Amino acid sequence: MKEKYKDRYEDALNELKGIAEKFYEQLEDGEVPNMRIPTRSKSNIELDRREGVWKLGDSKTRRSAKKLKSARMLLRTLYMLELIQDMIEEDKSSTLREMYYISEGWDKAEFSKQSESDSLAEDMELVTGCLREDFKLRPEEDGARLIGDITVEEVNRKGEIREINCRDDVGDSGYTIPYNVESDKVTFGDVNVDFLIAIETGGMFDRLVENGFDEEANALLVHLKGQPARATRRVIKRLSEEEDVPVVVFTDADPWSFRIFASVAYGAINTAYLSDFLATPTAEYIGITASDIMTYDLPTDKLSKNDRKALEQELEDPRFDTDFWKEEIETMLDINKKAEQQALAKYGLDYVTDTYLPEKLEQMGLM
Amino acid sequence: MASIAEELAEKQQEISVGEFFERNKHILGFDSLTKSLVTAVKEGVDNSLDACEEAEILPEIKVKIEEVNDREYKISVEDNGPGIVKRKVPEVFGKLLYGSRFHEISQSRGQQGIGVSAVVMYGQLTTGKATLVRSKVKEKDYANEMKITLDTKNNEPEVLDEEVVIWEGKDHGMRFETTIKGLLRRGRHSVFEYLKNTAIVNPHARIEYVRNGNTTVFKRATDQLPEKTKAVQPHLKGIELGTLAKMAKNSKRRTLKSFLKHEFSRISYSKAEEICEYAGIDKKTNPGELEVEDCKDILKAAEKVKLMAPKTDCLSPIKGMLIKKGLKNVLKGKHPDYYAPPTTRDPEVFSGNPFQVEVGLVYGGDLPKDGPINVLRFANRVPLMYKKGGCAVTSAIKNIDWRIYGLDQRGGKGMPKGPAVVLVHVASTRVPFTSEAKEAIADIPEVIDEIEKGLRECARSLRTHLNREKKRKKVKKKFTVVNDILPMIAEKSAQIVGKETPELSKSMTKIMGVVYVDKNYEWDNGVCKIDIEIMNYTPKEKDMNLFFEKPYPETELLSSNEEPAHQGDHLEWKLESLKPSEKRKISIEFDGGLEKDDLDGTDVYIEGITETKLIGAEPLPDDWDIELAEIKEGQ
């Protein structure tokens, strides 16, 4: 298997070396070293109508050694590049957090926050067109879980293929999604579910498990764990695309949860260049909606100043520029209230599985 | 002064001088014990400075104050002026309002005081003691010393004691010693403050102050004497009625027409005739026979006739770099970051009187950051220490929105706040004071306007400086880029690509884009070693001139790694064809008992580099009349 993917690393390496070559040439010509990086901001994402996902636009930002901060980023780019080169040659990998710590030995190129090194890794994906997995970099922990009647075939660390039924072969905490879910690592066997329900909070995931909702509704439950990791989004995308599983997203009713849905369905702004790869444009939002708060008369909290600001921003966000979302956001601003998924417990622990979800799923034609 | 003189002359008939003095203490500057001390010193020092200037002598003044009893002080002021001939000494010190200047129109300090004889009288009235005066003129081998009091009934001097003494080590000069009631205080209205401020606007003077045995010296910052002020004839517009009447009475001219033509400036025969016609007075009238009513008519006529503005070349401003030297000499302990190039406005005229405004501004360092800025007001080189609130200088400052120039100011009105000192000097043949006490300048629109313009010029320089400071900080960050980061980028990329490390100087200059001047001062046993490093971080070859302003005229250049092209008050080097990313270092050593505070990094100037591309040095001020080397920009 390693042999098979050797090309992938070679390609990444060549792409990365291209960056160093460019700096070198610029210096030789007496220029100030610089690189152009596609701008990762709300203003530079556009809808790919064919795919139905939001992708990065054409706007680019120049990172030049004229400024101290940018100069430092260029130097870090070279150090990171060297680290990747070494890892590929020595067949090792590191987590993003490990890389952040490794940078302590990089003198002036040391990172001061992990978010900086994470972001630079993303920049490099963007510039080279590779994935960070190609760079031998992986996220610290994924650990998102899923439960439901599907069978995955996973190649384990010994190179053996294991068949795992995600309902029968796992405990109550479900199957843990590994960081690499590409077909070299994970393939799907039998898929016997009617739909996939992605759940924001662990509490609600466990409630659905305890209530046996996976079997009752023939659903695949996926825990998003807040803003979902790439692997989680990738699994959802693959199941939707390869296995035709309909996807719904179940979150709290607040502006931040709306963004979780957007990143599952349309792609995140930061990783818009990966939307093709990660976004599931057919995903639907099941709730909790602002209208649900009123319909089900749920216990609520008042919107904070930041909540309102986030909602205002979402009104400007092209990803939310649909009638459904405009109305939801405006309603929320109107009633000035938000609610948690667990608020449904007001009507008893079974209410969510007996009443709320069936009603909503019925409206969507999934039950 | 003229009106007091007249008032006094009139009053003399009825009351004694002593009585007059008592009644008018507030006008004469003796209204409080603290102020009395300042006034006594001021009368002496102003006289000494005027005398030295007239005789073209660099002043050396020594002021001594000693407490002899509770609230009783012995004061002495000594100078190296021309001295006073023996027969005039009693009149100068023992006759109130004696002096040659009352009818002369010129910019002098003397117009602001009542005269040193008032000090003699004040001492006499408060302590009963006589004043001891010593004077030596160059022509005599000995000095005259006499004890003088004032006959307050008749305003006549009384010489009590008189002897001839040898004055060791003195070629010429004056000294008087008197005992007065007073109160020696510290602070804004102290003798020290007065002398300090006097030193600022008289950088050519050396002033020594001994206060109860403690000596402070304000060193001489320049050998350049102020230009002599010229006495001019009065201008008919703006003259006071009393003065005109007196001039007419004393005139030796036989006709009014001739009187107007010869005793006033800017009046031709035809203008004189025009005035007579408007006034309705026969031009052949003998001026001695003019009534006060006639004089009034003449002044009215003067308003109607178009007269040329008075000549303004009679004024002697301090001028740019000398203002800076004066300020620096006194403020160096506070290590200010910036001395704005001082402004000397062109002379202007208000009601017939020429005047000229000068402004200086100092910023930063250890100057107090909280509280209002410090304002130093001067009229004809004399510090104004009282009535700040009612002064045109204060009004002008409050008129400006200082926020746009980088100072704090609530609502853009009132006194600005921040670490700044502002100096305003108004020179005039007749400074428009608010009152006879001569403590504040009146709110004359023309004067306020000029002060405001001067202030704005300095304020603009301050804003530019603050912007350049911001840029300097940015450029400093870029040093990390070119010195640390860029070489690492070069090394790493070369290593990854597998080639030689590339040459970086071109990329470096593109990042910096400035000429950077770095200064380093080191002290070693009174010798100051200075390294000035000039780095051309621009992509072009540069020629420039480097100037170093010496702190004192006597400061001696011990050594220099490159021979200066010019030596004087400043040193000059021509730096030719400095290539991109080339550095050049000038290393010099100074002697002359320099202290740390004497050199503070604001003494380096570069000429030939655009201001915006120059970091770490000031561009050469415009008023340095220096023959410039040909500046060319290389490739």
Q: Chain B closest CA to A326's CA: distance in Å?
A: 43
Cα angle A342-A345-A347, degrees, rounded to a multiple of 5: 150
* Distant-in-sequence, close-in-space partners of B56: CB < 8 Å, separation ≥ 6: B225, B228
Residue where one domain finishes, among candidates B202, B217, B232: B217
**Contact between A65 and B481 using a beta-carbon 8 Å cutoff:** yes
Q: In chain A, what are the domain boundaries? A: 6-138, 145-364
Q: What is the mean pLDDT of residues B558-573?
A: 87
CA distance B294 to B21: 33
CA–CA gap between residue B250 and residue B286 (Å, rounded): 11
Asked if residue B203 has pLDDT above 80, the reply is yes
Residue-by-residue DSSP string for A267-279: --STTGGGHHHH-
- The DSSP code sequence of A68-83 is HHHHHHHHHHHHHHHH
Residues B593, B597, B598: CA angle, nearest 5 degrees: 55
In which residue ranges of chain A is pLDDT below 50?
1-4
* Range name among B401-405, B444-448, B531-535, B566-570 with the lowest pLDDT average: B566-570
For residue B618, pLDDT over 60 is answered with yes
CATH number at residue B190: 3.30.565.10
What are the pLDDT digits (tens) for B117-160?
A: 889 989 998 998 999 999 999 999 999 999 999 887 777 888 89
pLDDT at B52 over 50: yes
Q: Do B54 and B196 share a domain, yes or no?
A: yes
DSSP, res B593: S
Is A53:A281 a contact under the CB 8 Å cutoff? Answer: yes
Question: Is B493 an 8 Å CB contact of chain A?
Answer: yes
Residues B152 and B16 grouped into a single domain: yes
What is the residue type of B417?
K
> Are B248 and B204 in a shared domain?
no
Q: Is the entire prediction scored with pTM above 0.90?
A: no
Within 13 Å and on the Cβ side, how many CA atoms surround B99?
24
Of A186, A197, A76, A85, the closest CA to residue A136 belongs to A85
pLDDT tens digit sequence for B55-104? 999 999 999 999 998 999 999 999 999 999 888 888 888 887 655 444 45
CA distance A155 to A165: 14
> Which pair of structure tokens corresponds to residue B209?
């102050």
Q: Note whether B618 and B472 are within 8 A (CB).
A: no
Residue of A nearest to B539 (CA): A30
- Residue A91 pLDDT: 84
Percentage of residues of chain B with pLDDT beyond 90? 37
| pLDDT band of B307, cuts 50, 70, 90 | confident
Q: How far is B609 from chain A (nearest CA, A)?
A: 22
Residue B435 pLDDT more than 90?
Answer: no
The one-letter amino acid at B349:
V
Q: In what order do the strands lie in the sheet with A247-250?
A: A175-176, A145-147, A219-223, A195-199, A247-250, A284-287
At B10, the pLDDT band (50, 70, 90 cuts) reads low
- CATH code where residue B245 lies: 1.10.8.50
- Chain B residue numbers with beta carbons less than 8 Å from the beta carbon of A62 are none
* In a shared domain, residues B245 and B213: no
Q: Are residues B164 and B245 in the same domain?
A: no
Peptide bond before residue A150 is cis, with ω within 30 degrees of 0: no
Confidence band for B112, pLDDT divided at 50, 70 and 90: low
In angstroms, rounded to a whole number, what is the distance separating the alpha carbons of residues B391 and B375? 11
Closest CA to B230 of B289, B134, B312: B312
Burial of A336 (0-12, 13-18, 19+ CB in 10 A): exposed
- Phi, psi for residue A161 in degrees, rounded to 5: -90, 130
B608 and B546 in a common domain: yes
Boundary of a domain, candidates B447, B466, B485: B466
Q: Are B256 and B290 in contact (CB under 8 A)?
A: yes
Longest C-alpha distance within chain A, in Å? 72
Same domain for B35 and B136, yes or no, is yes
Q: Provide residues of A within 8 Å CB-CB of chain B.
A: 17, 20-21, 23-24, 26-28, 30-33, 65-68, 71-72, 74-75, 78-79, 81-82, 85, 107-109
Q: Are residues B286 and B343 in the same domain?
A: no
Half-sphere exposure of A307 (CA within 13 A, CB side): 19
Structure tokens at B574: 């021509």
Residue B231 CA neighbour count, 13 Å, CB half: 9
Tell me the CATH architecture of domain A6-138.
Orthogonal Bundle (1.10)
Asked if residue B192 and residue B78 are part of one domain, the reply reads: yes
| Domain stops at, among B414, B435, B466 | B466
Q: Compute the radius of gyration of chain B from its Cα atoms.
A: 29
Residue B259 lies in a domain: yes
Tell me the two tokens of residue A69.
């901060």
Do domains A6-138 and A145-364 share one topology? The answer is: no
Exposed / middle / buried, residue B180 (Cβ in 10 Å: 0-12, 13-18, 19+): buried
DSSP state of B130: P
pLDDT score for B2: 46
Give the containing element (helix H, strand E) for B618: strand B618-619
Please report the pLDDT score of residue A142 as a whole number: 62
For residues B10 and B133, state if they share a domain: yes
List CB contacts (< 8 A) between B507 and chain A. 26-27, 30-33, 65
Say if residue B518 is in the same domain as residue B394: no
Which residue segment(s) compose the domain that B567 sits in?
Answer: 510-619
User: Which residue type, as a one-letter code, is found at position B165?
Assistant: V
CB A153 within 8 A of CB A185: no
Residue B160 lies in a domain: yes
Whether residues B369 and B458 fall in one domain: yes
Q: What is the pLDDT of residue B3?
A: 53
Considering the domain delimited by A145-364, tell me its CATH architecture: 3-Layer(aba) Sandwich (3.40)
Q: Assign B434 a pLDDT band (cuts: 50, 70, 90).
A: confident
HEC profile of A334-345: HHCEEECHHHHH
CATH number of the CATH domain containing B432: 3.30.230.10
* Minimal C-alpha gap between B513 and chain A (Å): 10
CB contact under 8 A, B493 and A66: no
Look at A233 and B477; give whichever has higher pLDDT.
Answer: A233
Search chain A and give the residue with CA nearest B498. A21
Question: Tokens in use for B424?
Answer: 């305003």
- Ranges A236-250, B425-439, B529-543, most confident: A236-250
Q: Looking at residue A299, what is its pLDDT?
A: 95
Q: What confidence tier does B7 reach under pLDDT thresholds 50, 70, 90?
A: low
Domain count, chain B: 4
What is the rounded average pLDDT for all residues in chain B?
85
Pick from B594, B587, B593: nearest CA to B571: B587
